[in-house]
Amino acid sequence: MHKNEVQLGDENATKVRRAFLVGIQNDDCGPEECEELLEELRALVDTLGLETVGRLVAKQREPNPRYLIGEGKAREICDAARDAGADVVIFDDCLSPSQQRNWESLSSLSVIDRQEVILDIFAEHAKTNEAVLQIQLARANYSLPRLKRRWTHLNRERGRAGGMGLRGGGEQQLELDSRMVRMRIARLRTELAEVQKHRQIQRRERLTKPVPVAAIVGYTNAGKSSLLNAMTKANVLVANKLFATLDPTVRRYRLPGGLPILLADTVGFIRKLPTLLVEAFHSTLEETVLADFILEVVDASSSSLEEYHRTTLEVLQQIGARSREAILVFNKVDLLDSLARQRLRHRYPEAIFCSARTGEGLSELAELLEKAVDASSIDARLLVPHDQHDVVGRLRECCSFLQESYDERGAFLHVRVPRSA
C-alpha cells in the first residue's frame, strides 16, 4: 500500500489517497467556526495520512434528508471533488447511512464523515489490548447500519434478474454480514468486559495506596504528553498530530516537599467527538473521574484556545468529572510574545503558564500541585516500634516526611498523609 494510501473501514473498503473536505455552515455554526472546524478536519485527515486536494463550505438553510444540503449544491461539490482529483469526499458533519449511500451514488466516490475519520485514527493509534477492543467495538457499531453500502451492486443485479418472493445475492449477503457483525459486537463486549475487570482490579490496588492522582486532560495536541514527559522524565510518544497517543499513561512524580503523586495522561478531547468513542473510551476517561485533581492543559498559542477550553469543560461534564478540583495550565507559552502573554494572564489570573519544551513554569506548577495536595492532607505524628520498621519504608512511599528521629522506643515521625489514606 502506498505510504499515503489509507484503507477506510474494513478490508473490503476502498483505498483512498486524496481527500476533498466539506464544511456545513448553518445557524448553529457560523462562518468563522465553520472554517476553524474545517481546518481541524484537515489536521485530522493529515493525521490519517491523506492529502487534502480541496475544500468547500456549503451554506445550509434547512437540513435536507437526502443529501444534508440541497441537490444543486451537492452536484457542485461532486464536480469540484472530481475536478480536484479526489477519491474521497469527507464531511465535517455527521452523515446518516442513507445520506452516505446517496452521496456515493451521486459522486461515484467514497464519501465519509468526521466521525469515521476519527474512528480510523483511533484504530491506527491504539496500542493496549483494551484500547484495541474498544475501537473495534466502536467501529463495529458504526458499520452495522452502513453494511448496505458494500452490496449495492448486488442489489442492482437482483433488480434485473430477481423474481417474486426470491431474495437476491445482495440481500442474502447483507443478512449474513449483519449477523456476523452482531456476533462480533457480542464477542467484543464479552472480551472487553473481561479486560476491564482486570483493569479495575489494578485500579483498586493503586487506589488503596494513599497516593493522590492528578489526571492531565485537555484538547488533543495541547501538549499533555510533553508535559508528562517534562515533569516525570517519562518517554511517552510526542508528535505534532491530533491523537498522537490514545492509551492512558500513569507516572509517579515526587513534589518539591517530598510527597508523591501519580500523574495520569489521558486521551485528548475534540469537538464533535463521536458518541460511540465517548462510550467506548469510558473506562479510559474513568482515570479522570477517579482522579483527586485535574490538570487541564490548553495550547496557549492556539487562536481557538477559548473554544478548546470550553470543549474540555463540556467533556468533563459529560463524563461526570466537572466537580473535581482543576488547575488550568497554559502550555506552549514560549510561542507567545510578551503582549499575548500579558493579555492571557490578565484574562486567566489563576492559571499556570508554562512550556513543556523549555521547562518554563514547571516549578510553579509543581508548587501549586503541592499546595492542592497539602490542602487535602493531614499532619500525623507517629511512633513506629523498631520491630515494625518495615512500616517506615511503606510510609516513605506515600507520605511526606516533615520530621524523623529515633530512640530506644522506635521511630518518631511527623508526616503529611493524604486524606484518602
**Residue 289 per-residue DSSP state:** H
- What pLDDT, on a 0 to 100 scale, did the predictor assign at position 241? 61
pLDDT (0 to 100) of residue 154? 39
The number of angstroms, rounded, from the C-alpha of 307 to the middle of its chain's C-alpha atoms is 16
**Strand 352-353 with 377-384, pairing:** unpaired
> What is the spatial distance between Cα 213 and Cα 190, in angstroms, rounded to a whole number?
29
Q: How far apart are CA 331 and CA 328, in angstroms?
A: 10
Number of Cβ atoms within 10 Å of the Cβ of 220: 26
Find, among 242, 215, 224, the residue nearest to 354 by Cα: 224
Measured in degrees and rounded to the nearest 5, phi and psi for residue 255 equal: -70, 165
Give the pLDDT confidence score for residue 4 in this predicted structure: 56
DSSP line for 344-363: HHHH-TTSEE--TTT-TTHH
Amino acid at residue number 279 = E
What does the pLDDT read at residue 311? 87
- Counting every residue, how long is the chain? 421
> What are the E-state strand segments in 212-259?
213-218, 249-254
Q: What is the DSSP letter of 335?
A: G
Distance CA 282, CA 293 (A): 18
| C-alpha separations of 208 from 205, 285, 398, 418 in Å | 5, 20, 11, 12
* 210 grid coordinates: 494513599
CA distances from 117 to 8, 64, 92 (A): 8, 23, 10
Q: 249-254 and 325-331 as β-strands: parallel, antiparallel, unpaired? A: unpaired
Cell of 241: 498530530
What are the 10-residue block averages of pLDDT along the chain, 421 residues in total? 54 73 90 89 90 93 88 95 95 92 93 90 79 86 78 40 44 81 92 83 61 87 89 70 67 84 84 73 68 92 90 83 84 95 95 95 93 78 85 75 83 74 54
